[in-house]
A and B are shown apart, each in its own frame.
Chain A
């Protein structure tokens, strides 16, 4: 990958430079694909959606004003593409549903120790993530990806930056409580 500044790259893409757009895709494809692959179970469909993201980037470049970073804008497009794609087979938890924590029964530590090996925990966690509301799912899927910042997540979800961490903790709490309900 070259060191062309982002603004110059965008201008070259706007002038129809295919090599500049190729460079743009190479810079962002890994994060885009990783995020979509975590949101969609079918790898082939993840690839199609990732391509769709970059097609929308190409079509939207003439209208990109440059007020935010390009990566932030791209992740907004990723959010839209994933939202349009997903039709959950099971009803996701609503953000208005009261958290079960207030009346949650105490859990037996022994049960927790016996219940989850790492692989099984990973599998149950994947299923629990499917039940999260879309915004929480994006936070969980995107938070641990190297290169994705709180600012990108805030802009993608159109929430204040300070709210991202709060929502992330709330999402993780929901995940834990979903797993606890299975015990």
Chain B
């Protein structure tokens, strides 16, 4: 004889109209408690099947693609930075090597007089340039502004 405990195992199968062992359906029909369980299970089935489906926002795809472009740009920036650091280290190594060779060859002693001449020439040039300091400062500001605008435009391109 089928018990309520046995029938309880197959309530969801009945609610989903799946086959159940012999005697279960008859027991559930005749037993008020099991019948109530089946009613609840069927209502649960209905509620689950009719739960609202949330739609993504209209701009979802654009936002995702934008984030990916941003991520890709940052990755390229890191790669560029790494490459530049590597090149700078290489140049520094080469320069140190050349300086070491020059030092070892004794050219420094000979070059001391050359340095004195260069120093005097530089001082003379700087004195002349001082008179045009404002022009040079303005040119430097313009160049910095142009570079800043270019960098800002690049940023805008990435985030669009």
Contacts and interface: CB of A to CB of B under 8 A. Distances in A.
Interface of A: 18, 21-22, 25-26, 29-30, 32-34, 37-38, 43, 46-47, 50-51, 54-55, 58, 101-104, 106-109, 112-113, 116, 118, 121-122, 125, 140, 143-145, 169, 172-173, 175-176, 179-180
Given A47-B60, A144-B51, A21 B65 contact: yes
> Which range holds the interface residue count of chain B?
35 or more
A104 B11 CA distance: 14
Given A47-B60, A104-B8, A176 B41 contact: yes
B68 A107 contact: no
17 contacts: A21-B65, A25-B60, A29-B56, A34-B55, A38-B51, A38-B54, A47-B60, A51-B63, A54-B64, A101-B5, A109-B35, A109-B39, A116-B40, A118-B43, A125-B48, A172-B48, A180-B37
Interface in B102-155: none
Contact of A176 (B11, B35, B56): B11
The 4 closest A-B CB pairs, nearest first, are A109-B36, A106-B33, A37-B54, A33-B56
Could you tell me the dominant secondary structure of chain B's interface residues?
A: helix
B37 A107 contact: yes
A18 B55 CA distance: 23
B8 A112 contact: no
Contacts of B64: 25, 29, 51, 54-55
Given A169-B16, A176-B12, A34 B44 contact: no
B51 A22 contact: no
B5 A172 contact: no
B44 A50 contact: no
A118 to B, nearest CB: 7
B61 interface: yes
A118 B41 CA distance: 13
A116 to B, nearest CB: 7
A104 to B, nearest CB: 7
Nearest to B49: A144
Contacts of B69: 18
A43 B55 CA distance: 10
B71 interface: yes
A25 B64 CA distance: 8
